[in-house]
Structure 1
Amino acid sequence: MVISYNYNKFWKLLIARKISKTDLRRTTGILPNIMTRPNRDEEVTLETLGQICAVLGVSIGDLVDLTFCEPSNSKSWCSTVERY
C-alpha cells in the first residue's frame, strides 16, 4: 500500500489567516527543514502536526489529506484510491 500526503488545505489556511510559513515556524518552534516537508507533500510527524494544530486551533484533518492506494503490477500509478 502506498500513502501519499497532500497539504493544500494547510497552505490555504495559512493564506486565509495571513500567516507566513516563517511566522508559523517561529511560533511553533519547528525547524526550517521540517517546514519544507509539506512543500514536497512528504510525511510530517504527528508531533509536528499537533504543534501546528495547537497554534492554529484546528485538527489534523484541516491540514492534510491522505490518499491510500494499491500500486498496479504493470503500471506506475495506483489502481485503487481511497482518500481521507
Structure 2
Amino acid sequence: MILKFDYDGLWKLLIDKKMKKKDLTVKLGISPTTISKMVKGEPVSLTVLGKIATELESDIGEIVCLDNED
C-alpha cells in the first residue's frame, strides 16, 4: 500500500490568504521540489509542514490529510 497525502486544505488556505505556491518558497525557504511533491500528493517532512502551518496561522491537520481513495 502506498500512502498518498491530500494537501487540498493548504491550497484553499493559500487562496484565502491571497498567496501563491511561489510565495511559500520565497517566504519560508522551501524548495520548488518540495511544493512539487505536495502537488503530487507525496509526503514532505513535518518540519516543512510546521513552517507552513505557522506562516498560515493554522494547524498541520488543516493543510494535509491522508488520501484514503484506493
Class of the TM-score when normalised by the shorter of the 2 chains:
0.7 to 0.9
Structure 1 residue ranges (4+ consecutive) displaced by more than 6 angstroms after TM superposition: none
Residues 2 and 68 of structure 1 are in contact (CA less than 8 Å); yes or no, is this contact kept in structure 2?
no
Cα distance in 2 for residues equivalent to 1:67 and 1:31: 23
- Secondary structure of 1:5's partner? strand
Higher Rg? 1
Q: Unmatched 5+ residue regions in structure 2?
A: none
Give the corresponding residue for 1:15: 15
- Secondary structure of 1:41's partner? coil
Give the corresponding residue for 2:55: 55
Structure 1 length-normalised TM: 0.74
Q: Unmatched 5+ residue regions in structure 1?
A: 70-77, 79-84
Aligned-residue sequence identity (percent) comes to 36
C-alpha root-mean-square deviation of aligned residues, in Å? 1.6
1:4, distance to aligned residue in structure 2 (A): 2.0
Structure 2 length-normalised TM: 0.87
Matched residue count:
70
Q: Give the structure with the larger helix fraction.
A: 2
Give the corresponding residue for 1:30: 30
Give the corresponding residue for 1:3: 3
- Secondary structure of 2:3's partner? strand
Larger RCO: 1 or 2 (CA < 8 Å, sep 6+):
2
